[in-house]
Structure 1
């Protein structure tokens, strides 16, 4: 017959020994706790020899340690944990883990090396989420997030990598999604999608002349309540394979539509401002008084262009102050958009190729599909439909 020994809790043992030492009587404590005196004598002897590590139970494999040995063991354990944490972070950062699935794949590949609990804690994910993922169970919330990310990615490429977080958020909201700009920004970062940025442009305005100069009648009043009340115009350069070409635009402040434009090799009025103005007249009638605003460049101030504009009695000229680009900020803003959203992503093209790209950008993208912050994040066509 196998003998069964009664097991005592280590805490009970320690309390019993301390009680014996306090009272100075093993017999009294034994009688009070209903414990054999022989056990109490043995426990007291062990406690006097090994201290707090006397009753180690199963946690130390039944091996008793003195205080110094116990301290060393704890320090080694702490050192091992720290080393493991360092190794987890070091290995995880070899290949940046941008999305949760990457983190889960890393944990799955290192389960035999590190504990799942420690990896999840170090990498900032829920252990339960990881275990569900491993079993192939995807929570509804994660499915929703994945679908949102796919939609964000789709809109990013639909608008030719030109929209940042704010405009993508506005586009999503117009489609019925409830999503904030910071959340879209976070998804773009996780998907490693970055909006095209603008390049610096050089000045093309030559205002050092003695030709016609008009006062600044517009005076930075860029809000207009009807079409053909204020047109603004400007010229910029575009680098191509053969050198440079020059883009002249005329924009109606009411709906920010480009109503006239010209792309030319030279900077004369016959190639820049005159054809752009003639296109604007065809595209948008002048029914009431119109302010035509530009900088003081010679293309706007010479006799040829002035004569054409003056042939329309309802048109009043306005020019920016000398060296003040802010006076023509809306036209400058368009060129910034053009360079950021089109020019920067293109290789050096021929004149004909650039003309095709510019036409596509102005007529099919900017004037029709692009949403504008100045129009309360609507396209020009949507804005005109409401007005």
Structure 2
């Protein structure tokens, strides 16, 4: 009785969709195609890679990782499979890009704007800081970035903003790296970078100071982009109980960023991989 009822439902559905019942049963018993098998294998790989990279990668970066791991897959196919699985970059939808809303402005002392693209490490550095909310108060985070490889070469944390925050990040960078003589150091015009003690430390290290025009964050766009990525891939994905907890996670993320996270501007290499390739 149950089997007859099942056949009756199949017959009605086949008639509804305009297919023959024999064709339906032939399709049902047909082995899985090679294309479908490859799709299933790719989905497993995409899921594993996406989780391994903190669910931060979108189609372009996942496509590069798939090819790097020996999988044959076009970017269009990867995009389709990600869409089927509901997988997307953690940055998607967080920020709206409005072209033309901001412009780069020239300003006295902005050496970076008129400099050519760096061709090696240690010739152009940039610094900035941001703030992160925790349940026990704000945490301020400053970095120094090498603009050639996008590597974060120095960082610091503090419960209050001020020159000590930015000097500490610069000191760490100088202890880890050896900049070239006359290396440009670019920042905004905040008091944390304009303070006499900070300026003296920059000059003592043999760096040339360069500053954005006030109120124009795109003059320091690469560092701003790093903070955008940090917040989209880490800070906006969780809440921190305390500044100590936030510090630990940001340091871990920064090490991942330098070592593993690929950049489209670096031909989909991580900063450390790019440095090795260009050495």
Q: Which sections of structure 2, spanning at least 5 residues, go unmatched?
A: 1-5, 96-106
SS of 1:293's partner is strand
Match of 2:219 among 327, 338, 349: 327
SS of 2:155's partner is strand
State the number of aligned residues.
259
Is the Cα contact below 8 Å between 2:57 and 2:88 reproduced in 1? no
List per-residue Cα deviations over 1:311-364 (Å, max 9, x = no partner).
12x31100011211111000000001001110111123211111110010002x
Residue 209 of structure 2 corresponds to residue 317 of structure 1: yes
Residue 275 of structure 1 deviates from its aligned partner by 0.4
Q: Quick one: structure 1 residues 132 and 370, their matched pair in 2 at CA, closer, same or farther if it must change by over 3 Å?
A: farther
Q: Quick one: structure 1 residues 120 and 298, their matched pair in 2 at CA, closer, same or farther if it must change by over 3 Å?
A: farther
Report the Cα distance in structure 1 between the residues aligned to 2:109 and 2:7, rounded to whole angstroms.
72
Report the Cα distance in structure 2 between the residues aligned to 1:250 and 1:220, rounded to whole angstroms.
20
Query: Where does residue 178 of structure 1 map in the other structure?
Result: 72
Residue 11 of structure 2 corresponds to residue 116 of structure 1: no
- Calculate the TM-score normalised by the size of structure 1: 0.62
Query: Where does residue 276 of structure 2 map in the other structure?
Result: 385
Residue 259 of structure 1 deviates from its aligned partner by 0.3
Match of 1:362 among 232, 237, 254: 254
Q: Which sections of structure 1, spanning at least 5 residues, go unmatched?
A: 1-107, 122-126, 201-212
Structure showing greater radius of gyration is 1
Map of 1:180-219 to 2, 5 A cutoff? 180-197=74-91, 199=94, 215-219=109-113
Match of 2:242 among 345, 350, 362: 350
List per-residue Cα deviations over 1:247-270 (Å, max 9, x = no partner).
101000111100001111101111
Query: Where does residue 223 of structure 1 map in the other structure?
Result: 117
SS of 1:219's partner is helix
Q: Which has the higher contact order (CA 8 A, sep 6+)?
A: 2
Query: Where does residue 251 of structure 1 map in the other structure?
Result: 145
Q: Quick one: structure 1 residues 356 and 113, their matched pair in 2 at CA, closer, same or farther if it must change by over 3 Å?
A: farther
- Calculate the TM-score normalised by the size of structure 2: 0.85
Q: Quick one: structure 1 residues 142 and 327, their matched pair in 2 at CA, closer, same or farther if it must change by over 3 Å?
A: same
Is the Cα contact below 8 Å between 2:128 and 2:188 reproduced in 1? yes
Report the Cα distance in structure 2 between the residues aligned to 1:160 and 1:226, rounded to whole angstroms.
29
Residue 377 of structure 1 deviates from its aligned partner by 0.3
Residue 136 of structure 1 deviates from its aligned partner by 6.2
Report the Cα distance in structure 2 between the residues aligned to 1:109 and 1:219, rounded to whole angstroms.
74
Is the Cα contact below 8 Å between 1:371 and 1:380 reproduced in 2? yes
List per-residue Cα deviations over 1:135-188 (Å, max 9, x = no partner).
262122211111111111111111111001111011112223332222212111
Residue 57 of structure 2 corresponds to residue 163 of structure 1: yes
Q: Quick one: structure 1 residues 222 and 326, their matched pair in 2 at CA, closer, same or farther if it must change by over 3 Å?
A: farther
Q: Quick one: structure 1 residues 311 and 362, their matched pair in 2 at CA, closer, same or farther if it must change by over 3 Å?
A: same
SS of 1:235's partner is strand
SS of 2:221's partner is helix
Q: Quick one: structure 1 residues 349 and 220, their matched pair in 2 at CA, closer, same or farther if it must change by over 3 Å?
A: farther
Match of 2:179 among 279, 286, 294: 286
Residue 233 of structure 2 corresponds to residue 341 of structure 1: yes
Q: CA RMSD in A?
A: 2.4
Residue 113 of structure 1 deviates from its aligned partner by 6.5
Query: Where does residue 76 of structure 1 map in the other structure?
Result: none
Q: Quick one: structure 1 residues 348 and 381, their matched pair in 2 at CA, closer, same or farther if it must change by over 3 Å?
A: closer
Residue 110 of structure 1 deviates from its aligned partner by 8.9
